[in-house]
């Protein structure tokens, strides 16, 4: 089952937030991506949606629609549930 | 024991001549290059997942025979969706002599990721630096020579839409085929150390060079068939060693080996891109898609687009139909009649042949082509601007309610052109459940042939509002079926993960060419079937056997649907091609009541025409669709879907007829 990323700190990595919780215009650094499906993980990695990579939320489609993020590689649309499972570092 | 065959190219099943595969990220102009090089009909589009089967074509260049393979767009060779598997299978199981890697020059670093992976796997690579014009326009300048030196493979700037640089790419591919593959780059020493150690433990049976195989395994693709030739005992021993190596990499990097390899490759791609980028420029065109994906503007835009398609079909298609019909009646029809009478003389033979050669051909030209042509022209523009791609984002929310991701919107829209390629396109979807739901819904989407019937019968004789009402009913049926299937079939809906491309102004030539190829396919496939169908129906009619043939249908067609029994027979024939239904009906009307705009109405009432078009739209997809459906989803499911649509169509048709009678 998908596990949403909690807002509390995990493994001493500092406060983590879910990518899906970020408002439009927020820049963040990815902390963790879901690894349970190797195919999706590999595709995320190829698209540079990887821990340590910067992302900016450029559009959020309302009513639980997809989230659009700009990475160094391009603009990608992520389903809200997938975005919910990507953790980013919280604001310092 | 082990052979360190670092510079061995993947072993190929030998064919005549050379095989050149075209690989690249989605939307980099791969299919455009393929079309340009082959003059062949692979459809190029500005959305991911358009090239769904691996297309191949044989061409001659400088006296040599080349097999060109157009792979689906991929970001990496580690499986996720079905089309990436197809690309990987084509590359690994049937390795080409040369891979032409097509790059988007406006997004160099990310595109280099795949190039590095291809070189890692030991392929002879030639790089086509495509969209050179768009890059130049954005002020991006890349030192191609420097890139060539760093990668160790030829790099040629190209503009696919204008054909620039493409012959040079092929010529370089020919030259490269005679050289051993080159790997000039290396990743970080820790990773390379583990890769070398793992590679040293491989035995010589691998279809890949040892370093490439070791990297691929660390990337988590141990099932990729790279151990196909190995003994079971050595296979299991090696799998253990691979797992141990992956663990060591994970420990060293603090993340899974697959992520570590991807990170190293991105870092190297970044360094190379930074070195060869003379001027980074500023790439524009990112903003336009926002209008299409934001509901506040996207939904009105979607409605405008749908209205434009509808208006184009109604007025454009309608005008074309009237023009063709008039010309046929004035010039072609009398000529054919005279010719046939001269050869065969008056009788049953001539009357039967006239069904096919006069009425049948007339129907193809005036019912099929105008609407099919118009639809494909509009679809081509929508694809090549990138609008369809943006629409998948907007539609994701709606699609989720049907158990689909936004990605499925593309095959569903393609289904409005023709169900067959749309069903083949299901390979781009991630789960079997999604393929099953989308496959069922595609068969309910009116393809251009059914659209021709809706417009040719309903819009033409009853007016546009009736056609709109019919589309409303069909939309409700599709949404209802998706909603039901989503609840019926266990499992979850996969997440959306697609790239959003900048909008482009479509190249006129590409759109015209694509429309022509699609319409040409339609003509070549449709005309013989329509001719044969018309002649058979004509023979039944002229010999009076039609009464016998329609009798078994009468209870359903006449009793429940309230249609003339003969109309039911045309519906049965329409299993061959859906537009055949109306074409045969028109032919029948011409024979019975003579030519004229009102002929169908003297044959059937308005209510009957509406019901007829509705039943034709929903019941059973054509035979080609059933065939591809059973290949994709299995015979049993195809049978259930087909019979289900018949039941649904008959039920809805009868109910509609009774509701219309209440007015």
Evaluate if residue B52 carries a pLDDT over 60: no
Please state the separation of Cα B274 from the chain's center in Å. 36
Residues in chain A: 92
Nearest to B157 by CA among B136, B175, B178, B177: B136
For residue B464, being part of any structural domain is answered with: yes
Q: What pLDDT does residue B307 have? A: 87
Contact between B416 and B376 under an 8 Å Cβ cutoff? The reply is: no
For residue A33, being part of any structural domain is answered with: yes
B522 vs B283, which has greater pLDDT? Answer: B522
Concatenated DSSP letters of B393-455: HHHHHHHHHTT--GGGHHHHHHHTT-HHHHHHGGGGSS-HHHHHHHHHHHHHS--HHHHHHII
The verdict on B173 and B193 lying in the same domain is: no
Residues in chain B: 663
State both tokens at B482.
Answer: 């998706």
The verdict on B590 and B482 lying in the same domain is: yes
Evaluate if residue B50 carries a pLDDT over 60: no
Q: What pLDDT does residue A31 have? A: 93
User: How many structural domains compose chain A?
Assistant: 1
Best mutation target, B410, B493, B495, B498, to test chain A (most A CBs within 10 A) = B495
For residue B123, being part of any structural domain is answered with: yes
CB spacing of B258 vs A38 below 8 angstroms? yes
Sign of the torsion formed by the C-alpha atoms of B427, B646, B472 and B319: positive
For residue B58, being part of any structural domain is answered with: yes
Burial annotation B544-582 (CB, 10 A radius, 16+ → b, else e): eebeebbeebeeebbeebbbbbbbbbbbbbbbbbbbbbb
Q: What pLDDT does residue B402 have? A: 92
B148/B126 Cα distance (integer angstroms) = 9
Q: What is the mean pLDDT of residues B232-243?
A: 75
Q: What pLDDT does residue B311 have? A: 84
Domain boundary among B246, B279, B312: B279
Domain containing A43 equals 16-89
Residues of A with CB under 8 A from a CB of B: 33, 35, 38-48, 50-52, 59, 61-66, 68, 72-79, 81-82
Domain boundary among B108, B142, B177: B177
For residue B274, being part of any structural domain is answered with: yes
Number of Cβ within a 10 Å radius of residue B453: 28
B431/B319 Cα distance (integer angstroms) = 43
B85/B88 Cα distance (integer angstroms) = 5
Domain boundary among B156, B177, B198: B177
As a whole-number percent, the residues of chain B with pLDDT over 90 amount to 27
Evaluate if residue A88 carries a pLDDT over 60: yes
Best mutation target, A53, A58, A73, to test chain B (most B CBs within 10 A) = A73
Q: What pLDDT does residue B519 have? A: 79
Give me the residue from B75, B109, B293 closest to A61, CB to CB: B293
The verdict on B221 and B323 lying in the same domain is: no
User: How many structural domains compose chain B?
Assistant: 3
Contact between B324 and B510 under an 8 Å Cβ cutoff? The reply is: no
pLDDT digits (tens, 9 = 90+) for B346-365: 888 888 888 888 877 877 77
pLDDT digits (tens, 9 = 90+) for B156-206: 999 988 889 998 999 999 999 888 888 889 998 989 998 998 888 776 566
A39 vs B125, which has greater pLDDT? Answer: B125
**Confidence at B274, pLDDT banded by 50, 70, 90:** very high
The enclosing domain of B65 has a CATH number of 3.40.50.300
Q: Which of B39-53, B318-332, B460-474, B570-584 has the lowest mean pLDDT?
A: B39-53
B336 CB contacts (<8 Å, ≥6 apart)? B354, B357, B358
Domain containing B270 equals 189-279
pLDDT digits (tens, 9 = 90+) for B471-508: 999 999 999 999 999 999 998 888 888 888 888 888 88
For residue A4, being part of any structural domain is answered with: no
B245/B238 Cα distance (integer angstroms) = 10
Contact between B265 and B113 under an 8 Å Cβ cutoff? The reply is: yes
Task: Find chain A residues with C-beta within 8 A of B255's C-beta.
Answer: 51
The β-bridge relationship of strands A27-32 and A74-78 is unpaired
Q: Which H/E stretch holds residue B28?
A: none
As a whole-number percent, the residues of chain A with pLDDT over 90 amount to 52
Query: pLDDT averaged over chain A?
Result: 82
Is B550 touching A (CB cutoff 8 A)?
no
The verdict on B511 and B627 lying in the same domain is: yes
Evaluate if residue B263 carries a pLDDT over 70: yes
For residue A35, being part of any structural domain is answered with: yes
For residue B36, being part of any structural domain is answered with: yes
Contact between B23 and B114 under an 8 Å Cβ cutoff? The reply is: yes
A28/B618 Cα distance (integer angstroms) = 49
Q: Which H/E stretch holds residue B365?
A: none
Burial class for B281, CB neighbours closer than 10 Å (0-12, 13-18, 19+): middle
Q: Which of B103-117, B180-194, B232-246, B325-339 has the lowest mean pLDDT?
A: B232-246
Q: What pLDDT does residue B212 have? A: 87
Q: What is the mean pLDDT of residues B37-52?
A: 50
For residue A76, being part of any structural domain is answered with: yes
Angle subtended by helix axes B369-385 and B318-327, to nearest 10? 150
CB spacing of A79 vs B258 below 8 angstroms? no
The enclosing domain of A54 has a CATH number of 2.30.30.90
Nearest to B225 by CA among B125, B120, B338, B91: B91
The verdict on B401 and B378 lying in the same domain is: yes
pLDDT digits (tens, 9 = 90+) for B521-542: 677 777 787 788 788 878 888 8
Task: Find chain B residues with C-beta within 8 A of A46's C-beta.
Answer: 75-76, 78, 113-114, 262
Evaluate if residue B45 carries a pLDDT over 90: no
C-alpha dihedral (B260, B261, B264, B265), degrees to nearest 10: -150
Evaluate if residue B331 carries a pLDDT over 60: yes
Q: What is the mean pLDDT of residues B101-119?
A: 93
């Amino acid at each position: 089952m998908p596990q949403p990323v909690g807002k509390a700190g995990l493994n001493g990595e500092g406060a983590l937030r879910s990518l899906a919780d970020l408002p439009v215009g927020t820049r963040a650094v990815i902390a963790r991506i879901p690894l349970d499906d190797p195919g999706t993980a590999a595709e995320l990695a190829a698209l540079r949606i990887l821990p340590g990579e910067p992302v900016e939320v450029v559009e959020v489609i309302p009513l639980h629609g997809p989230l659009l993020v700009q990475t160094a590689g391009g603009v990608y649309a992520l389903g809200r549930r997938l975005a919910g499972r990507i953790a980013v570092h919280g604001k310092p | 024991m082990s052979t360190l065959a670092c510079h061995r190219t993947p072993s190929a099943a030998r064919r005549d001549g050379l095989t050149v595969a075209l690989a690249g990220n989605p939307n980099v102009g791969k299919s455009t290059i393929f079309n340009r090089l082959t003059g062949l009909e692979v459809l190029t589009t500005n959305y991911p997942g358009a090239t769904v089967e691996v297309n191949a074509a044989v061409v001659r260049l400088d006296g040599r025979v080349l097999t060109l393979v157009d792979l689906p767009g991929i970001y990496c060779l580690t499986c996720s969706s079905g089309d990436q598997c197809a690309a990987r299978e084509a590359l690994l199981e049937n390795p080409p002599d040369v891979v032409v890697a097509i790059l988007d020059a406006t997004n160099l670093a990310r595109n280099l990721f795949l190039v590095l992976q291809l070189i890692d796997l030991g392929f002879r690579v030639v790089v086509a630096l495509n969209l050179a014009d768009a890059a130049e326009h954005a002020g991006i300048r890349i030192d191609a020579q420097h890139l060539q030196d760093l990668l160790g493979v030829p790099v040629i700037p190209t503009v696919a839409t204008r054909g620039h640089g493409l012959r040079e790419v092929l010529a370089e591919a020919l030259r490269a085929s005679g050289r051993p593959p080159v790997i000039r780059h290396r990743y970080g020493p820790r990773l390379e150390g583990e890769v070398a150690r793992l590679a040293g433990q491989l035995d010589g049976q691998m279809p890949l060079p040892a370093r490439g195989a070791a990297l691929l395994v660390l990337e988590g693709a141990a099932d990729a068939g790279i151990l196909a030739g190995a003994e079971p005992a050595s296979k299991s021993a090696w799998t253990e060693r691979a797992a141990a190596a992956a663990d060591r990499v994970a420990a060293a990097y603090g993340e899974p080996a697959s992520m570590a390899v991807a990170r190293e490759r991105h870092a190297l791609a970044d360094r190379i891109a930074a070195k060869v980028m003379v001027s980074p420029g500023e790439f524009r065109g990112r903003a336009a898609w926002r209008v299409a994906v934001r509901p506040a503007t996207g939904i009105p835009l979607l409605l405008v687009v749908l209205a434009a398609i509808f208006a184009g079909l109604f007025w454009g298609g309608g005008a074309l139909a009237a023009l063709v019909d008039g010309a046929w009646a004035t010039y072609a029809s009398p000529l054919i009649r005279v010719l046939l009478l001269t050869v065969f003389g008056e009788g049953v033979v001539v009357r039967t042949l006239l069904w096919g050669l006069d009425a049948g051909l007339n129907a193809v030209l005036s019912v099929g082509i105008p609407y099919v042509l118009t639809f494909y022209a509009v679809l081509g523009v929508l694809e090549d601007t990138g609008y369809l791609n943006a629409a998948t984002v907007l539609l994701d929310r709606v699609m989720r309610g049907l158990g689909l991701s936004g990605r499925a919107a593309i095959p569903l829209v393609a289904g409005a052109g023709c169900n067959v390629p749309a069903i083949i396109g299901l390979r781009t979807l991630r789960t079997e459940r999604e393929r099953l739901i989308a496959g069922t819904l595609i068969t309910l989407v009116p393809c251009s042939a059914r659209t021709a019937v809706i417009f040719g019968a309903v819009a033409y004789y009853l007016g546009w509002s009736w056609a709109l009402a019919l589309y409303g009913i069909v939309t409700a049926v599709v949404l209802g079926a998706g909603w039901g299937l989503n609840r019926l079939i266990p499992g979850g809906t996969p997440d959306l993960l697609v790239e959003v491309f900048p909008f482009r102004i479509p190249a006129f030539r590409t759109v015209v060419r694509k429309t022509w190829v699609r319409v040409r396919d339609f003509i070549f496939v449709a005309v013989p079937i329509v001719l044969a169908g018309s002649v058979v129906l004509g023979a039944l009619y002229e010999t009076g056997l039609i009464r016998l043939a329609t009798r078994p249908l009468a209870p359903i067609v006449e009793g429940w649907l309230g249609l003339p029994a003969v109309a039911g027979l045309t519906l049965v024939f329409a299993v061959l091609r859906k537009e055949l239904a109306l074409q045969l009906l028109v032919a029948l009307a011409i024979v019975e009541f003579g030519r004229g705009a009102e002929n169908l109405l003297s044959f059937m009432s308005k209510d009957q025409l509406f019901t007829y078009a509705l039943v034709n739209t929903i019941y059973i997809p054509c035979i080609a669709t059933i065939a591809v459906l059973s290949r994709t989803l299995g015979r049993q499911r195809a049978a259930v879907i087909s019979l289900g649509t018949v039941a649904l169509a008959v039920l809805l048709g009868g109910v509609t007829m009774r509701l219309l009678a209440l007015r």
